[in-house]
Structure 1
Amino acid sequence: MADMIRPVAPPNLPSLVQAAFNKARVTGDVTYYPTQVAVLTPRSIPVSIPVSIPFQLRFSPALAHKPKAPKPKEPNAKPFNPFENPSPAMLIADLPPSHRLVLNKFAVVPEHFILVTRDVKPQTHVLEKGDIAATFACIQAYHADGRELFAFFNSGPHSGASQPHRHLQLLPVERMKDGLEDVENGGQWRVLAEKLTESTQGLPFQVFTTGMRPDMSAEERHSSYIELYRRAVEAALPDIEVSGEGEAKISYNLAITSSSMALCPRTAEGTMIKNKSGESIGVVSLNGTVLAGTALVKNEAEWDALRENPDMLLDVLKGIGLPP
């Protein structure tokens, strides 16, 4: 196989993203949904376990009214694809040879942006070497600027995936911390994937992890991803033959930071929670940001119930993946 052209992100990527986001907010091309935030630390995790999981919970009532993508006017027309030909207002930069960077149109975290393939490729397929290399190029551009990025990928019907065109999502960690300085235990939160090692006892779902080094080649990083994916498939479907390409065998979330990679096989997108009276009040759905240690709710009953009983969050987490 011929050597892959190594993607290089613009060295001023953080300022490019910030400028594009601020401009798009002013013009209305991006909608930012402000949130309230709390940090929950479920008490039922044994103290003797080295992994603690302070979870960031955000509440955005306006997000419940987010507009839906337009439906095709003709019965056989293709659904609207926001990534195929992004408008100039949404485009941050091209990332040759095969990707581009665009803004997330509906942002809960400021400066949330997205790495998309130029060609339309399936979100449900195993990631290619170029996908991982382009993602890490963005992470390195932030790291070189003294900042950190949290990258995540949702694949499959139980993962929280919403667009069929292949894309990975990128969140500046400093913007994920917005508002935490004003809440109890806010200083305890940090990206969960950064805290995980091969010893992940204490988590209520299985996660497979490995370290990332700055000097790794694109081949080594992709091989690390494929190995995590293989282990996850074997855990979920022991008798299935695993291939490193084509349609993925399971739903899963992937997280990548400058120092870690984590993959979580998923069995459900979310779970129902109940109030003190035992009444069902809503389904808490989680995507790849679960590997950052964050959750988002859109109605006040869920927000109140989880803050009143943080242990309820464990039940949600137990319901989305494979038991440890």
Structure 2
Amino acid sequence: MARSIAPQNLPELVKAAFDAARTNGDLTYYPTQVAILTPNSILFQLRFSPALALKPKAPKPKEPHGKPFNPFENPSPAMLIADLPPSHRLVLNKFAVVPEHFILITKEFKHQTHVLEEADIAATFACIQAYRMNGQELFAFFNSGPHSGASQPHRHLQLLPVERMKDGLEGVSRGSEWSILAERVAESEKVLPFNVFTTNMHSDMTAKERHSAYLELYRSAIKAAFPDREANSEGEAMISYNFAMTSNSMALCPRTAEGAMIKDKSGQDVGVVSLNGTVLAGTALVKNEAEWNVLREDPDQLFNVLKGIGLPR
């Protein structure tokens, strides 16, 4: 397999593309309010963006055979950041909650619900490495399956600059203590209500070894979900799951639900809080003020959501 190499100045390319696209109206950035919650002593970042409730829906199919709209098939030049030979490219996220949120997509259509290939893992790590060479960190995540928060069938992994994930935390109580959950699973293991499988990475691992490490996490998740079944190494994944990668670690969380209902003090339903792969960063997002208020007043409600999305420990 040809080695995947990201541009050495990738952080600059991403920032320049994001700033230009935002200025020109090619993407929408949704500012957020932020709070730190500690459900069951787990340090979690909660963000609230009321404007997200007004986010436009994806265009309906225009073709007679009903082919779904695919934003990654022919990305607009305004959204394109760079090619990542031989098999991937980088584009901006059109609806960003975290500034400089970008996406790694396959050039050819590949299924989001299929097991990741060696090239996917290699391209993701190449981006992480390019950021680290510039003294920065990236959080990469992947949503696969109906319970994972996935929204597009074309294979893509999402990448968030960790420093931009910390925007607004400076003046927030315990904001300086927040860090990526995937890198502190070991210390949080006893209090996490769902199963997460993790492994450490080292800098001299080969692309094949990194992919094998991912597959080992996937097999562990299959064994936890279906003790009597043999895990596949390619094709359609047998479970919904979220996968995350940082410069130091990988984490995989099997999913059984996308979210759960939260209630106010009188027991009335307030809304469903949905979580995608950013749950492995230790972040959650809500779109209405009632949910925002309930979760800040009663962080145990967030713990109940966490308890309902995966396999119990």
Q: Please give the TM-score of this superposition, normalised by the length of structure 2.
A: 0.98
Partner-residue secondary structure (3-state), 1:263: strand
Matched-pair contact (CA < 8 Å) for 1:198–1:208 = no
Matched-pair contact (CA < 8 Å) for 1:99–1:117 = yes
- Counterpart of 2:289 in structure 1 is 300
Give the letter aligned to residue 27 of structure 1.
N
Equivalence map 1:70-89=2 (5 Å): 70-89=59-78
Counterpart CA distance in 1 for 2:305 and 2:187 is 23
Give the letter aligned to residue 4 of structure 2.
P
5+ long unaligned stretches in structure 2: none
Q: 2:209 aligns with which of 202, 214, 220?
A: 220
Counterpart CA distance in 1 for 2:34 and 2:78 is 29
Instruction: Answer yes or no: is 1:256 the counterpart of 2:245.
Output: yes
Give the letter aligned to residue 25 of structure 2.
G
Instruction: Answer yes or no: is 1:106 the counterpart of 2:103.
Output: no
- Counterpart of 2:8 in structure 1 is 11
Equivalence map 1:168-247=2 (5 Å): 168-197=157-186, 200-247=189-236
Question: Would you say how many aligned residue pairs link Structure 1 and Structure 2?
Answer: 313
Matched-pair contact (CA < 8 Å) for 1:198–1:210 = no
Counterpart CA distance in 2 for 1:113 and 1:126 is 21
Alpha-carbon distance, 1:75 to partner: 4.0
Alpha-carbon distance, 1:199 to partner: 7.6
- Counterpart of 2:258 in structure 1 is 269
Counterpart CA distance in 2 for 1:308 and 1:124 is 37
Instruction: Answer yes or no: is 1:145 the counterpart of 2:134.
Output: yes
- Counterpart of 1:23 in structure 2 is 20
Matched-pair contact (CA < 8 Å) for 1:21–1:103 = yes
Instruction: Answer yes or no: is 1:287 the counterpart of 2:276.
Output: yes
Matched-pair contact (CA < 8 Å) for 1:198–1:209 = no
Give the letter aligned to residue 211 of structure 1.
N
Superposition CA RMSD, Å: 1.0
1:196-244 CA-partner distances (Å, limit 9, x unpaired): 2398221110000000111100000000000000000110111222111
5+ long unaligned stretches in structure 1: 46-51
Partner-residue secondary structure (3-state), 1:7: coil
Give the letter aligned to residue 128 of structure 2.
I
Equivalence map 1:300-319=2 (5 Å): 300-319=289-308
Counterpart CA distance in 1 for 2:250 and 2:107 is 24
Counterpart CA distance in 2 for 1:53 and 1:118 is 38
Counterpart CA distance in 1 for 2:62 and 2:210 is 43
1:149-174 CA-partner distances (Å, limit 9, x unpaired): 00000000000000000000000000
Counterpart CA distance in 2 for 1:140 and 1:303 is 35
Give the letter aligned to residue 220 of structure 1.
E
1:127-159 CA-partner distances (Å, limit 9, x unpaired): 000000000000000011000000000000000
Counterpart CA distance in 1 for 2:217 and 2:167 is 31
Instruction: Answer yes or no: is 1:62 the counterpart of 2:51.
Output: yes
